[in-house]
Amino acid sequence: MIYIYIAAFGFISIMFLTLRDIRIYRRTKFDSYRKGALRGMLMGALALLGVNFTGNPGYESVGLTVVLVAVYFNNKGKREDVFGDAPLMKRVLGETTVKKRDTKTI
């Protein structure tokens, strides 16, 4: 019974980091955060599949393995420094300065 909570925690952590990457990408337009958000969505779907397996009796170990694989492949990757000297809570919530778009057209 505890297995479903472990799997749900893995899924929730992937989705939290994905939403954080989406927020940072919308503010800064850095491509690495867009790629991280896309990878997070794919790994979130895989983790949700693992949560479904974990909920079925007899398949708990398969479900937890799928969730673990999803968490492993949702690695950080190479990212730009957008936080600078920001405090911990601003980093956790993904608060960044908004990057101005270049309005010049050729």
pLDDT tens-digit profile of 49-85?
999 999 999 999 999 999 999 999 998 778 777 777 7
Residue 23 within any structural domain of the chain:
yes
Residue 27: alpha-carbon gap to chain centroid: 17
Tally of domains within the chain: 1
Domain that holds residue 63: 2-93
User: What is the DSSP-derived secondary structure letter of residue 57?
Assistant: T
Nearest-angstrom CA–CA distance, 55 and 50: 9
Residue 59 within any structural domain of the chain:
yes
Nearest-angstrom CA–CA distance, 42 and 40: 5
User: What is the DSSP-derived secondary structure letter of residue 74?
Assistant: S
Residue 101 within any structural domain of the chain:
no
Residue 104 within any structural domain of the chain:
no
Residue 100 within any structural domain of the chain:
no
Residue 30 within any structural domain of the chain:
yes
User: Residue 70 burial by CB count (10 A; 0-12/13-18/19+): exposed, middle or buried?
Assistant: buried
Nearest-angstrom CA–CA distance, 34 and 82: 14
Tell me what pLDDT residue 80 has.
78
Tell me what pLDDT residue 41 has.
96
Residue 106 within any structural domain of the chain:
no
Residue 105 within any structural domain of the chain:
no
pLDDT tens-digit profile of 13-41?
999 999 989 988 988 888 888 999 999 99
